[in-house]
Amino acid sequence: MARFGRIIVGLVAIVIVVGIGFWAWASEPAIDPVSRPAAGQFSKASIAKGAELAALGNCQACHTRPNGKAYAGGYPVETPFGTIYGSNITPDPDTGIGKWSEAAFRRSMHEGLRRDGGHLYPAFPYTHFTKVSDADIKDIYAFLMTRPAVHNTVPSPDLPFPLDIRMVMAGWNLLFFHEGRYQPDGSQNAAWNHGAYIAEGLGHCAACHVPMNMFGAEKTDKGYAGGNAAGWHAPALDKSSPSPVGWTKDELAGYLRGDMTPHHGVAAGPMADVTKVLAEVPHADVEALSTYILSKGATKPADARKAAIADAGKKSFQVTTAQKANFKGSAKDGEAIFAGACASCHFDGGSQPFYRPVDLSLSSAVNAPNATNLVQIITHGVKPAAGGSGPIMPGFGDVLTDDQTASLVGYVRKHFTGKPAWDHVDKAISTSKETAGQ
């Protein structure tokens, strides 16, 4: 018994020593607070450049709660592990970053650390922001420090033990974080490198368009093979892109700026917010971003594009008088539901003013590997980002039952693509009811 007791004491001692060692290794020093810098110390050029860079990073999306004040935090970021709330990054000295020096801000972007030395969670994509240059960090700091200060206390993360202990992130960083600035690829041209700098840095495109492992880290070996974002499927941007026609540079650049593109439609879901801010940045940035993304392989040869467009024309929705007579107002027939709810816009020809919907045979949502986005669109519709303009499709989540939605989804998939039916459509429908769509 005495021997057993000694073993227990020894194990406890080992745990304590290891714990102290981990604490010493994972601890980071605080950076002294400063008085809020006077707005006059930043040049107009630096502030303007910072605004463009903040738009490229879409900072406002995660740092502004619905109907809240810009950058004041509180937006709930849902993760597989729990909810993390976007921090207040206005220059409020008590609840924001008003006491942060430029060095403290730079460290948070490059190393994922708060001013007090606490670890940030990777829902804040410092794994990408670490690639951003010191000069660009300086301009973003100038922009944020000249925003109106908003006193707003953000809720603490809602995470289970031990993830609620920020120091645990030191172990995560050891496994998955590679600190360092972007290094240009000498084998590529300037436009490609500029696009890579945006996509892999501030744009953090991979945070949504790359699959995640069980620890919430990007599977970098999978490339841009598609991922998830706020209840939507972020489609693959590589050779496995679901688009039957692929993308041209002009199409992708237009799409990223929020344009309605003939073979791809318009951005929906979380991507609509991205395109809204990209419409505000220099076209050269969006052109460079398009150059880089297309190098991942989401293109198609001209003859393949032509064939896909021709094939789509053969699958257009057409209803004969005899078919209409057979519908008899069926509430379960997917074709009947489509005829009644969708065909007035997604019809087989003719002319329409302004925005004509993309041919559903070419839609990435209809050709995707899962039903997520089509269900989201049917449930919530498509509308411009707040304050923007563009095509509008009403949502049918309050009109169709779950069974009707499933029937409609099954019909659209089969009729317009001829591909196998999706699995787990019922789960996609229930998930869509839990999200806000856009």
C-beta separation of 90 from 150 below 8 A: yes
Listed residue (301, 312, 317, 422) closest to 363, CA to CA = 312
How far apart (Å, rounded) are the C-alpha atoms in residues 206 and 223? 8
Does residue 208 have a known ligand-binding role? yes
- Residue 205 known to bind ligand: yes
Give the residue among 337, 319, 328 at the shortest CA–CA distance from 408.
Answer: 337
Instruction: For residue 204, say whether it is annotated as part of any ligand binding site.
Output: no
Query: According to the annotation, is 63 in a ligand binding site?
Result: yes
59 carries a ligand binding annotation: yes
The Cα 368–Cα 59 span in angstroms is: 28
> Does the annotation flag 345 for ligand binding?
yes
Q: Is 209 labeled as ligand-binding?
A: yes
User: What are the binding residues?
Assistant: 59, 62-63, 205, 208-209, 342, 345-346
User: What are the binding residues for heme c?
Assistant: 59, 62-63, 205, 208-209, 342, 345-346
